Structure 1
């Protein structure tokens, strides 16, 4: 994988003090936890950094930012004549012809599922699964739309799933296989992985794991109208349609979140500035055509609007029309800051002396079950520095003692980083970051009653045992 070209912020007309102010604001807000960022201006990387223990080489769960990659696959399929936007969805699934009798479901077009305009007025995922858990397309089409397709917006996972299913059907390939020679290889995107359903179909609406660099490259491709390093990959017409308002919002998506009220394209959100793909808990690909810039971010937060507010407050004013004067000191200071980014580890002391024998039985969940992670049934503690989580029959061993960083990284069987330690002679508190996801598990072990508690700082949306808290690996 070739590196993206780099430059100093000032050389590309970006005031480094604005980037520094943006970093300050991200790190000082207790509701935000940044994991990575890349900022491109005029096709040059002017700032990039990863908050340790997160690292540039690791793929990240992108959640609904996956949708923008699904739209890109659909764009290629349209360009190749495999899909037509004005075809009825049901025409791609003739085996459901007899089952789908609702006239609005039968009138639903490919462009409607691509733009979240299926005619439903709210999310249908649970209802679609209740109709048919093994074939979500059929389940979705069995949920009658409330209005005529194309007349109302509703953020709706099965709509994107159906778009992804059409691509996979007409190409005979998984999304990752189809995109590899068309998108990933030409853009220099390395390893990616996409969560599949029980039938082996990649989800489309979520589940893609890719690096921050991959997010930035996708944004740059769209910023350039589908051209990459002088070669046209996507039709300019597709990029234009995907990144303009296809359907407006009748009601607020989220009250007080203005960047979610500006309309929706083909799996891209329109914003107060530019457009973007985004995913739960703060995964962003923000494209700013007026500034000729792309911002890629991974993070953990439930206040996603706050991140975009900080972009508006600090980064947008930093963009100038041309190179900025200066002696390079501010650029150098920013580069040093970016190289030293790190999340603060949880505090904890070494194991107190004389208690090793007291921890020699497994701890069980307080209250009989772990509400946040029901598959976590026991924890074993060796005060010498090993803590083992017993989850769905698997044993996940965590090492304590993170050295200077305060974090200890374990790559197998699940990539995690651990910090923390003893808060007193009978209490062990750990912070477990699952490094290929946004999520952290907070664990407290109590010697007195031999129990533990474990809660997610942000609840994983896909659920399941801890072994799934990583990018899928080849069978």
Structure 2
């Protein structure tokens, strides 16, 4: 079934209900989705869909998985068996057809591009020394150990470079320092050595940053452009955004945005041993090395290889990103799953366990009308925001509406803010200083839901902003906002007094801020 890329919330829900009805009835979409098909399907243009039972999975178990996602900060969840979507949920306000930030799952894509460069003959060997690609640079702390770092060391997080980026709780100091530097590759290359190459696993977004820069040197184009031609285009992936560093190098450790269905295509490519519709994209030996990872991580039950996390006891591996952005590959079960989220509460082990528990047979199961109905109901429920009664508009809403509050220079670059909260369509408008003489400020505006339901602004360069707000008991206005799929939801508390407004930003991740603005007559 092919769905439009951009759909309204109403259209999306209508489509979801139609899909749910067809799945429960066993008609329409289900006719061509059979667990005993001899040839695997190729979702280049569209994914097939069926009931879970037709692919040997239990609807009731998948309904439990959907519920787990609702209580563990998930924004989307897809389960694919035998090349067929058997469960697909989007947790409101996130929805179908929107790209999601992949965070560190980007690393696995960089690794995949290195594999393709090897296949293309652009890279001679993963044992090639890294410093050879940066011979024109003066590198600090250069010793025999640093000279010995190989591409494979970068892929396995065993470069030995000194780097602070904890996998658990803790501040990723080195990553933040890299972001503040003018030359990211130089920053990474200049790090002192903390261990011999290949000796110790140490997680680092600096390693894939060097790999991205090396890809640019090998291909003469950014990792994004190389991926478009050699990876995304063959898979039928077109809706892509990838952040770049100040030098124009695609960020290697994070920064890639894909729709969840397209993330699943990457997993499916690995599940099919690097082959897509008869064409080898990735060398099978590359995937074998992932499946038989030998590098011990500093986390129990996990190993690492080629920028993938591996769970040997579960016969599973995954691309894994901050806040639960995950592409699971489970070869022995013929399963691919995708989860995107906004928090840390969903454990990898629990997600793998629940997905595996839903697999009951290698062939089709008898229909389960009750289980299918429950699954369809849970998918509909998590994808629907629940409007709340809107109380009487307070007098302060009328007093501040339409006024423009201006702010002194600040780290957030917020220049002005205007709210209109007493009309039929509550809205906001704000301006950000760009630092560009030719375009000093950029204006953003959109609606605000006052009934507990997010409202969407028109799509813009930064994505689709959603916002909702409510007046608190002390007459402060609390607004929640962020980009759909951006993993960046924030809360701002606005307190008004006379001609002034105090704004406290509370970020779900990262530092907050406090600002003061004044109405300028």
2:127 to 86, 94, 98: 86
Partner of 2:69: 26
The structural deviation recorded for 1:330 is 2.0
Query: Unaligned regions of 5+ residues in structure 1, if any?
Result: 464-475
TM-score normalised by length of structure 2? 0.78
Partner of 1:382: 420
Retained in 2: the 8 A contact 1:350–1:422?
Answer: no
The structural deviation recorded for 1:121 is 5.6
Q: Is 1:286 equivalent to 2:328 in the alignment?
A: yes
Q: Deviations over 1:1-54 (max 9, x none)?
A: 611122210111111111111122222x3xx22111111111111111212321
In structure 2, distance between residues paired with 1:309 and 1:338: 23
Does the residue aligned with 1:53 lie in a helix, a strand or coil? coil
Matched ranges for 1:340-419 at <5 A: 340-342=381-383, 344=385, 349=390, 352=393, 354-355=395-396, 357-359=398-400, 361-362=403-404, 374-376=412-414, 378-383=416-421, 384=423, 385-392=426-433, 393-401=441-449, 406-413=453-460, 414=462, 415-419=464-468
Does the residue aligned with 2:481 lie in a helix, a strand or coil? strand
Q: Is 1:446 equivalent to 2:484 in the alignment?
A: no
Q: Deviations over 1:428-474 (max 9, x none)?
A: 2221131140121112222346322221122389x9xxxxxxxxxxx
The structural deviation recorded for 1:355 is 4.1
Retained in 1: the 8 A contact 2:60–2:374?
Answer: no
Retained in 1: the 8 A contact 2:69–2:77?
Answer: no
Query: Unaligned regions of 5+ residues in structure 2, if any?
Result: 1-43, 166-171, 434-440, 514-521
Partner of 2:159: 118
In structure 1, distance between residues paired with 2:140 and 2:324: 39
1:266 to 306, 318, 327: 306
In structure 2, distance between residues paired with 1:314 and 1:110: 35
2:214 to 155, 160, 166: 166
Q: Is 1:183 equivalent to 2:231 in the alignment?
A: yes
2:338 to 296, 303, 316: 296
In structure 1, distance between residues paired with 2:51 and 2:502: 52
The structural deviation recorded for 1:196 is 0.5
Retained in 2: the 8 A contact 1:123–1:157?
Answer: no
Retained in 2: the 8 A contact 1:104–1:148?
Answer: yes
Partner of 1:470: none
Q: 1:140 to 1:406 in 2, by over 3 A?
A: closer
Q: 1:460 to 1:436 in 2, by over 3 A?
A: farther
Give the number of aligned pairs.
Answer: 444
Partner of 1:140: 188
Retained in 2: the 8 A contact 1:348–1:421?
Answer: no
